[in-house]
Amino acid sequence: MEYNTTRNKLVIPEYGRHIQRMIEQTCLIEDREMRNLHAQSIVNVMGTMLPHLRDVVDFKHKLWDHLFIISNFKLDVDSPFPIPSVMTYQVKPKKLSYPTYKIRYAHYGKTVEKMIAEIRLIADGPSKQKLIVDLANFMKLLYVTWNKESLDDQLIIDQLRELSKGDLRLSDGFKLAEIREHQQGNGAPIKAQKRQIRPPARGAQKPPAGAQRKKY
């Protein structure tokens, strides 16, 4: 009996040991034309094992790359795509820099600050004033979503003035839109709950057959 601990390690476990053995046997074939036919057949079988990836871009390219990876880059066949090498996968990708942008108020996020920057560039007028009011109402909605406490509109007005460096202003005492209690955190109304029908009390008499029920 042969145990997995004594067998070669599976390079790509998704394809199983049979595919890996087929590739190892193909590497031993001396006739190049016959080797190419075997490699093409193996790629076709590999494609049937991953049907959910058929719509992925460069699906065939990935299969041929996996073929060479499983063979430890020893398979010498004609490929319709550039043949990868060991160095292709040994070179480490460049490290992605983590964004260090500091957000003044986390509950507003970076999007609100970008919106403020765009509105500051608009020329003064009724349209800009309307955008300022809409932005203030949006900030109020975000504040209430993340801070479950009573809110004074003046706080939103002051924070808007602070984030815009004094460019976007609303008059002191300006009344923003009310955040209704029946709205969810995202502003969508909560669906009405179905009326629960209570079971009849014990000992209650059932209405006779054919009797009309009382309409409410």
Over residues 141-173, the pLDDT tens digits come to 998 888 777 788 899 999 999 999 888 988 878
pLDDT grade, residue 107 (50/70/90)? confident
d(CA 136, CA 125): 17
Domain ranges of the chain: 4-90, 94-187
Cα within 13 Å of Cα(126), Cβ side? 0
Q: Report pLDDT for 2.
A: 72
3-class secondary-structure state, position 91 = coil
Q: Report pLDDT for 195.
A: 54
Question: Contact 142/121 with Cβ under 8 angstroms?
Answer: no
pLDDT grade, residue 38 (50/70/90)? very high
Q: Report pLDDT for 205.
A: 62
pLDDT greater than 70 at residue 201: no
- pLDDT (mean) for 114-132: 92
Q: What is the pLDDT of residues 43-101, one digit of tens each?
A: 999 999 888 887 788 899 999 999 999 999 999 999 999 998 888 877 787 888 877 77
Question: Contact 113/168 with Cβ under 8 angstroms?
Answer: no
Other CB atoms closer than 10 Å to residue 75's CB: what's the count? 21
pLDDT grade, residue 191 (50/70/90)? very low
d(CA 144, CA 136): 12
Highest mean pLDDT out of 38-52, 167-181, 185-199: 38-52
Q: What is the DSSP letter of 189?
A: B
How far is CA 188 from each of CA 182, 183, 185, 191, 194, rounded to the nearest angstrom? 9, 6, 7, 9, 18
Q: Report pLDDT for 196.
A: 57
Question: Contact 43/63 with Cβ under 8 angstroms?
Answer: yes
pLDDT greater than 80 at residue 206: no
pLDDT grade, residue 136 (50/70/90)? very high
d(CA 123, CA 185): 33
d(CA 174, CA 205): 61
Q: What is the DSSP letter of 51?
A: G
pTM of the model as a whole: 0.47
pLDDT greater than 70 at residue 23: yes
- pLDDT (mean) for 201-215: 60
